Structure 1
Amino acid sequence: MADDDTTDEPVLTYVLVDGENIDATLGTSILGRRPQPEERPRWDRLLAFAKDRWEQDVRGLFFLNATQGMPMPFIQALKALGFEPVPLSGDPDIKVVDVAIQRTLRAIARRDADVMLVSHDGDFLDEVEALLEQDDRRVGLMAFREFRNSGFAALESDGLEMFDLEFDVKAFTSRLPRIRVIPIDEFDPAQFL
């Protein structure tokens, strides 16, 4: 992939986090209420998982809508965890986080880099599919398996790697009240007794 944006640096994995999407899914679909701080993902575990899984350096970009102001304590916490916060603003009718992630995925297509997207949102299907069409590129999706857009399932045969935030990434400190289809090899009756 020789291009103006390509450098001689080692390949790395970009971890792109759609924080609003993960928070909304956790709150609305799993907990049925706004998550408490201790119920939210341990964001640093996403970076550690990506680094361990693909055995290369990672760069975490955490996209957030800051139209109503910058949440400085959260931004400082993200920086301390190793993320680069990407605070965005725009008109209310523009999904600024989605637009920024789409642009970032297209920019990554011009680099020698892998990517793990952290979202359930089908708005990124076209960009993910385009990345998968390129040789020697790994593309992953971290999400709650049962809430990811169904279009992602079709991309698994093209090489999209799927990782469950709770069970694969282990991003939570306690078990979430999820109802999910359990592969028989993972079934542990003790979880129900």
Structure 2
Amino acid sequence: MDDHTQPTAYLLVDGENIDATLGTSILSRRPESHERPRWDRLLHFTRERWGGSPRGLFFLNASSGMPMSFVQALKAIGYLPVPLSGPPEEKIVDIAIQRTLQAMADRDGDVMLVSHDGDFLEDIEPLLGTDRRVGVIAFAEFRNSGFTQLMDQGLEFFDLEYDVRAFTSPLPRIRVIPIDEFDPTPFL
């Protein structure tokens, strides 16, 4: 099957959620640019894992201005930036991703969500149990526990660091290691 006959995979990126988790829960400080995910690797991973040509939608809160250099960088690597604005008390990125997930119910295509946020559970669940593949990319130890329950319904999960390899150097994470994956070398 060639790229023209495969359904599109939609890669929906909640960059603020990933950045906040990385800074607050892993680094305990604001990440520097070299410590952030290489966003192009998520597109590559989705393409390699599911085939076709993924359509990357990167949702941004641009209420205080358009981050032009970041938007240009996203476009250069193949994303369609989705800059949004709204009142500060509203989670505008979440609202936009929820609406996008809801719209996916009427479209063909696989869905890969990049977020830890449980706000998306209600909108992901109806996409499961169909011919489409649905996945979540996040840090396993910080993803909302509701995603784990959806894995029984077919939700796939991929770790941002270990599966996607989105970082240029190892992060200071402590994770539960399945014994089949245990290698003592890094601990020695």
TM-score (norm 1): 0.94
- Aligned twin of 1:167: 162
Say whether 1:113 aligns with 2:109.
Answer: yes
Given the alignment, which residue of 133, 140, 146 partners 2:135?
A: 140
User: Does 1:127 find its partner at 2:123?
Assistant: yes
Give the deviation of 1:24 after TM superposition: 0.1
Letter paired with 1:154: Q
The answer (yes or no) to whether the contact 2:37–2:167 under 8 Å persists in 1 is yes
Residue 144 of structure 1 and its aligned partner are, at CA, apart by 0.1
Aligned-residue offset at 1:55: 1.5
Aligned equivalents of 1:64 and 1:175: distance in 2? 26
Tell me which of 13, 16, 31 is aligned to 1:20.
16
Over the matched positions of the two proteins, sequence identity in percent amounts to 70
Give the drift of 1:9.
Answer: 6.2
2:174 maps to 179
Decide which of 91, 112, 118 is 1:95's aligned counterpart.
Answer: 91
Q: What is the CA–CA distance in structure 2 between the aligned matches of 1:78 and 1:35, rounded to whole Å?
A: 18
Aligned mate of 2:56, from 29, 37, 60: 60
Aligned to 2:82: 86
Q: Give the aligned partner of residue 154 of structure 1.
A: 149
Equivalent position of 2:71 in the other structure = 75
CA distance in structure 1 between the partners assigned to 2:50 and 2:78 by the alignment: 18
Alignment RMSD:
1.0
Q: How far apart are residue 56 of structure 1 and its match?
A: 1.7
Aligned length: 185
Q: Give 3-state SS (helix, strand or coil) of 1:157's partner.
A: helix
Alpha-carbon distance in 2 for matches of 1:152, 1:191: 30
For 2:30, the aligned partner's letter is: R
CA deviation vs aligned residue, 1:49-88 (integer Å, no higher than 9, x gap): 0000011210000001000101000000000110000000
State the alpha-carbon separation in 2 of the partners of residues 185 and 42 from structure 1. 28
Q: CA deviation at 1:148?
A: 0.1
Could you list the structure 1 runs, at least 4 aligned residues long, displaced by more than 6 angstroms after superposition.
none
1:10 shift after superposition:
3.9
Structure 1: unaligned runs, 5 residues or longer: 1-7
Inter-partner Cα distance in structure 1 for 2:36 and 2:101: 25
2:49 is aligned with what amino acid? R
1:91 aligns to what SS in structure 2? coil
SS in 2 for 1:64: strand
